[in-house]
């Protein structure tokens, strides 16, 4: 399926960094889901580069919905979202054609596409394509919200600065919706942004860890083998440029625990509902949701584009070379990627939920009726 993800709710991405338009097709979404363009724009705004901790490239992200929405509701047929590319400066890139930027896909793109790839600005590999992904995800998030399912991502770490852990998720997820820099601890947010600026001024870049929580997921979603919740989400999350690790619940820390300290005890709560006293499993047992909040973390590497001289090869002319990147680059993308993580998780969950409960389920209790 390649650039398409999903079985029942499917997302297809297309476009290149310096092409005229980029976009996404979201297919299989239930009919009757409200589509609020202001909401989509607000999600794109969270992803958009801003201030001095982002690339100087400024894109309006003036999306338009070419199909699948009528009178502010999804029709149930494919939703195509288009975003024109405005502020592309291909000239910046032409000077280093053939020089494989370390940490980028220039070389692997060449191996796969034999030089026919649109390499300008990373082409189809560009983080720019996460803009339509965020827009598609915003619709998915709206559908989930209609079922009481809420998603939020904070920067558990950025530039070596740690945020406070998630606390009351109701409160924290609400707060995150309005936080332009997604750290729950204001002091940490200041320090992290300062650390990003430091790296930038050193001609360098930083990474971080995204932590996403999902509240309100029903128990019993996912499959025992292969299409586990973890597997399906990780499959999608590794598409976010720079993500090199994905863990659920206590994740890698579980490897250091003993079973008695790792297991989550089951307990009855109000109304006889089954819960766990702790949530080291991140809401998933045996590949299937257990009704607790889903918690997933993504390691995001530092932006590979840095202003320093780097050693590389010229894969067109042959031989070693030295590369000095000009152009406009992000000293970090992790703070922008939080909106992408929300989107990707929302899209993957919509797919799992539609498979489990049918295509109309995402329209909400009232089946999309106003």
Scan residues 251-310 and list those touching its own copies (CB under 8 A): 251-260, 262-268, 272, 274, 276-277, 281-282, 284-291, 299-306, 308, 310
Specify the residue, 168 or 268, whose C-beta has the smaller distance to its own copies: 268
As measured in angstroms, the least distance from the Cβ of 74 to its own copies is 7
Question: Cα(227)–Cα(21) distance, rounded to whole angstroms?
Answer: 33
Angle value at C-alpha 241, between 41 and 88, nearest 5 degrees: 60
As measured in angstroms, the least distance from the Cβ of 156 to its own copies is 9
Specify the stretch interacting with its own copies by CB under 8 A; choose among 138-146, 164-172, 179-187, 195-203: 195-203
Considering only residues 49, 109, 137, 152, which one is a binding residue for its own copies as defined by CB under 8 A? 109
Specify the residue, 177 or 238, whose C-beta has the smaller distance to its own copies: 238
Q: Does 100 bind its own copies (CB under 8 A)?
A: yes
Question: Cα(16)–Cα(119) distance, rounded to whole angstroms?
Answer: 9
Question: Cα(323)–Cα(310) distance, rounded to whole angstroms?
Answer: 5
Site for its own copies in 217-236 (CB under 8 A): 219-228, 230-232, 234-236
CB 290 within 8 Å of CB 192: no
Angle between helix 130-145 and 37-47 (nearest 10): 130
The number of residues that bind its own copies (CB under 8 A) is 156
CB 120 within 8 Å of CB 18: yes
Q: Does 193 bind its own copies (CB under 8 A)?
A: no
Specify the stretch interacting with its own copies by CB under 8 A; choose among 44-52, 144-152, 171-179, 314-322: 314-322
**Taking Cα atoms as reference points, which of 322, 340, 319, 316 lies closest to residue 330?**
340
Specify the residue, 90 or 171, whose C-beta has the smaller distance to its own copies: 90
Q: Does 320 bind its own copies (CB under 8 A)?
A: yes
Reported as half-sphere exposure (CB side, CA atoms, 13 A), residue 262 has a value of: 14
Specify the stretch interacting with its own copies by CB under 8 A; choose among 37-45, 49-57, 86-94, 317-325: 317-325
As measured in angstroms, the least distance from the Cβ of 150 to its own copies is 20
Site for its own copies in 140-169 (CB under 8 A): 157, 160
**Taking Cα atoms as reference points, which of 345, 8, 356, 350 lies closest to residue 152?**
345
Return the DSSP state at 218. P
For 115, left (φ over 0), alpha (ψ -120 to 50), or beta?
A: left
Specify the residue, 48 or 297, whose C-beta has the smaller distance to its own copies: 297
Find all residues with CB under 8 Å of 270, minimum gap 6, and list them: none
Specify the residue, 191 or 235, whose C-beta has the smaller distance to its own copies: 235
Considering only residues 37, 39, 73, 191, which one is a binding residue for its own copies as defined by CB under 8 A? 73
Specify the residue, 145 or 313, whose C-beta has the smaller distance to its own copies: 313
Specify the residue, 138 or 232, whose C-beta has the smaller distance to its own copies: 232
Site for its own copies in 29-58 (CB under 8 A): 31-32
Specify the stretch interacting with its own copies by CB under 8 A; choose among 42-50, 140-148, 186-194, 315-323: 315-323
Question: Cα(369)–Cα(48) distance, rounded to whole angstroms?
Answer: 33
Site for its own copies in 324-363 (CB under 8 A): 334, 355-361, 363
Specify the stretch interacting with its own copies by CB under 8 A; choose among 22-30, 39-47, 172-180, 335-343: 22-30
Taking the CB of residue 370, how many other CB atoms lie within 10 A of it?
A: 7
Q: How far is CA 69 from CA 36, 37, 141, in A?
A: 10, 11, 16
Q: Is 103 exposed, middle or buried (0-12, 13-18, 19+ CB in 10 A)?
A: middle
CB 129 within 8 Å of CB 21: no
């Amino acid at each position: 399926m390649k650039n398409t993800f999903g079985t029942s709710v499917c997302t297809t991405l297309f476009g290149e960094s310096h092409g005229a338009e980029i976009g996404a097709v979201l297919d299989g979404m239930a009919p009757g889901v409200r589509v609020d363009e202001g909401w989509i724009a607000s999600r794109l705004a969270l992803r958009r580069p801003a201030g001095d901790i982002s690339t100087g490239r400024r894109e309006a992200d003036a999306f338009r919905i070419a199909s699948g929405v009528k009178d502010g509701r999804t029709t149930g047929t494919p939703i195509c979202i288009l975003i024109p590319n405005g502020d592309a400066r291909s000239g910046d890139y032409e000077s280093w054609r053939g020089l494989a930027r370390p940490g980028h896909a220039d070389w692997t793109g060449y191996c796969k596409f034999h030089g026919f790839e649109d390499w300008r600005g990373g082409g189809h590999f560009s983080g720019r394509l996460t803009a339509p992904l965020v827009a598609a995800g915003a619709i998915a998030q709206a559908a989930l919200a209609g079922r009481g399912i809420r998603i939020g991502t904070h920067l558990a770490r950025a530039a070596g600065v740690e945020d406070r852990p998630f606390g009351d998720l109701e409160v924290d997820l609400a707060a995150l919706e309005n936080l332009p820099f997604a750290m729950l601890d204001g002091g940490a947010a200041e320090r992290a942004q300062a650390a990003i600026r430091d790296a930038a001024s050193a001609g360098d870049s930083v990474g971080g860890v995204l932590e996403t929580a999902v509240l309100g997921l029903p128990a019993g979603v996912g499959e025992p083998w292969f299409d586990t919740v973890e597997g399906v989400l990780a499959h999608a999350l590794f598409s976010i440029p720079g993500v090199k690790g994905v863990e659920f619940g206590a994740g890698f820390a579980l490897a250091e625990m003993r079973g008695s300290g790792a297991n989550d005890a089951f307990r009855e709560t109000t109304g006889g509902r089954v819960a766990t006293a702790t949530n080291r499993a991140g809401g998933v047992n045996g590949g299937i949701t257990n009704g607790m909040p889903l918690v997933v973390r993504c390691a995001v590497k530092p932006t590979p584009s840095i202003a320093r001289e780097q050693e590389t090869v010229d894969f067109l002319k042959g031989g070693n070379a030295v590369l000095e990147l000009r152009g406009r680059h992000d000293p970090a993308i992790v703070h922008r990627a939080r909106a992408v993580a929300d989107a990707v998780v929302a899209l993957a969950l919509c797919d799992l939920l539609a498979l489990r409960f049918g295509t109309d389920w995402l329209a909400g209790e009232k089946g999309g009726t106003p």
